[in-house]
Amino acid sequence: MYYLHVDVFSSQPYSGNSLAVFPDSGGLSGEQMTRITREMRHFESVFLAPDPAHKRTWGARVFDLAEELDFAGHPLIGAACVLHALHGVGENESWHLKLKARTVDVTTRRRSAGRYTAVLDQGPATFLGRPTIPELATWFSLDADDLDPELPPEVLSTGLRYLIVPVHGDALERARIAQDLDAPLAAVGAQFAYLLDAAALEGRHWNNDGNLEDVATGSGAGCAAAYLRRHSRIGDGETVTLHQGRLTGRASQMAISAHGEGQSIRSVTVGGEVAFVAEGHLKELPA
């Protein structure tokens, strides 16, 4: 089975967030996709299958090392650029990717051989509350003074439910997950946490046990864009660059924007550059 290895949110290979894209995965089971993803050892893999009833529409299933995801950012951006390379005819193209929960639109542009940019429209943001969590700073091995006093923690979603945790000073560099966050996050209606330095426009995200730090989190970046817009830290429709991955040695840049006012954020976009690194074939599929 044919696959491509791309780096997302970077203009150069060996930076940004790596991804395995399987452009024609029809016939694979979810268990096979899970085992392939674990074998590839990228943070996530995406498996595509064309929809014969709709032009420029592909089914997309995204897996991380633990499970299938309802939504993700960097796999969809990488997948769309692979589709452009394989099936695009113009410099600019648009693609419809059908996930389990919904269909999203991604626009792509060919910059040069093996270099693309893409913008994912994540749709509207849903704001789900501002929980009071006295021990929140300790979740990340921080002190209460490390939390940004001007911005509240907030749960919101553009596909996955994130608790946005605003920090300031050098807190982002010192942060570490101190306990498994699955249960504490579920208690406030969130699936994941995203630390955000709003002044520096930089974020960090780990899996909930803290064992693996993500290089660039497209779904989290979408929530960060909606959050920053709600709190008037970015303008209506203004595109800014959100940084992530610097502390992992794989600096990434995500172009984010949000359209709307207050809690009425009608559209969030996340985009970035994609570099093609390698291609190959699986000689044998898992049983």
Establish whether domains 2-121+273-281 and 126-270 are of one fold. yes
> Cβ atoms within 10 A of the Cβ of 240, count?
15
Residues 77-115: tens digit of each pLDDT: 999 999 999 999 999 999 999 998 789 999 999 999 889
Give 208's DSSP letter.
Answer: T
Residues 57-78: tens digit of each pLDDT: 999 999 998 889 988 899 999 9
Residues 153-166: tens digit of each pLDDT: 999 999 999 999 99
For the chain, domain boundaries? 2-121+273-281, 126-270
The CATH number assigned to the domain with range 2-121+273-281 reads: 3.10.310.10
Q: Which residue's entry shows tokens 């419809």?
A: 96
Q: State the Cα angle at 275 between 1 and 104, rounded to 5°.
A: 75
Beta partners for 64?
A: 44
Pairing assessment for the beta strands 264-281 and 192-197 based on DSSP bridges: unpaired
Q: How far apart are CA 247 and CA 236, in angstroms?
A: 30
Sign of the Cα torsion 140, 143, 144, 146 reads negative
Q: Helices 74-87 and 218-230 meet at what angle, rounded to 10?
A: 120
Phi-psi region of 148 (alpha: psi -120 to 50; beta: other; left: phi over 0): beta
Query: Does the pLDDT value for residue 54 go beyond 90?
Result: no
Cβ partners under 8 Å of residue 132, min gap 6? none
pTM more than 0.95 = no
Contact 84, 108 (CB under 8 A): yes
Residue 35 CB burial class (10 angstroms; 0-12, 13-18, ≥19) = middle
Q: In CATH, which of 3.30.70.270, 3.40.190.150, 3.10.310.10, 3.40.50.450 is domain 126-270?
A: 3.10.310.10
Q: How far apart are CA 187 and CA 77, in angstroms?
A: 31
User: What is the average pLDDT score of the chain?
Assistant: 96
Pairing assessment for the beta strands 103-112 and 240-244 based on DSSP bridges: unpaired
Residues 174-230: tens digit of each pLDDT: 999 989 999 999 999 999 999 999 999 999 999 999 999 999 999 999 999 999 999
Contact 269, 244 (CB under 8 A): no
Q: State the Cα angle at 220 between 17 and 210, rounded to 5°.
A: 70
